[in-house]
Amino acid sequence: MPKIDLHQHPPYFYADYKSSHSRGPNQDPIDFSCLTALNPSEVVAEFAGGLRNRFAVGDLDHDLIRNAQQGGIPLGERMVISGQVLNQWGKPESGVLIEVWQANASGRYAHKDDGHDVPLDPNFIGVGRCITDKEGRYRFYTIKPGAYPWKNHPNAWRPQHIHFSLISESIADRLVTQMYFPGDPLLDYDPIFDAVPDSAKEHLISTFDLSVTEADFALGYHFDIVLAGANATPVDPEHG
């Protein structure tokens, strides 16, 4: 992935997002140029070795509605999420591995550390993956996630969101971000979203798309991801 423009992304430390102070880097970046000079072939292979088109996914990995069914279907509003992965010049990026994870319709993750007292869904694990095609396009089927409380500040609730992780040419080329939904009233109160510069916030919000909607089955949302440049999709400050 091309070098990112840090002005489009949230700071490592954001006062209102309390855990950023323990998760952000507290040491200077490591300069790998000395390693490159000593043994360039190994360093290039380690940090820039080609991974494109080496990923493999299962037939249902992109379908979170069906990939964990235990004799029933997941509860909640069914959705289709589709879009393109583009580079900073607007060209499609093919062969990119996209992984998603999310809460269920009640706002609970299928994870042992999630103690939210709402039901788990036995037919929904909330994880999926796919690979972009030659036009950089991807498509997921899923359930709209619920909002959930968190302990950042009094009466704190996270907006409905889906986490995205992208890996392109190498493991070092990784973008982690979150996708939000239009019109969510909790966006105005969320310090994670608020940490993103105002000029870039729109790049994190999906748009309803009737052309993606599948009749009698699921509503469609469009979400493009730009890897670098002035229109880059902002990184998730928790994982950035």
158 is known as an active-site residue: yes
222 is known as an active-site residue: no
Candidate list 148, 180, 203, 221, residue with the active-site label? 148
Candidate list 108, 129, 161, 203, residue with the active-site label? 161
Candidate list 14, 17, 109, 221, residue with the active-site label? 109
Interstrand relation of 225-226 and 97-101 (parallel, antiparallel or unpaired) = unpaired
Residue 23 CB contacts under 8 Å (≥ 6 apart), including other chains: 238
Please write the tens of the pLDDT for every residue from 78-117: 999 999 999 888 999 999 999 999 999 999 999 999 999 9
pLDDT band, residue 1 (cuts 50/70/90):
very low
189 is known as an active-site residue: no
CB 192 within 8 A of CB 240: no
Please write the tens of the pLDDT for every residue from 115-169: 999 999 999 999 999 999 999 999 999 999 999 999 999 999 999 999 999 998 7
Q: Is the pTM of this model over 0.75?
A: yes
161 is known as an active-site residue: yes
In the prediction, which pLDDT does 2 show? 47
Residue 167 CB contacts under 8 Å (≥ 6 apart), including other chains: 51, 55, 96, 97, 173, 174
129 is known as an active-site residue: no
Residue 107's nearest CA partner among 158, 58, 70 is: 158
Q: 177 vs 3, which has greater pLDDT?
A: 177
In the prediction, which pLDDT does 15 show? 76
Domain formed by 50-226, architecture: Sandwich (2.60)
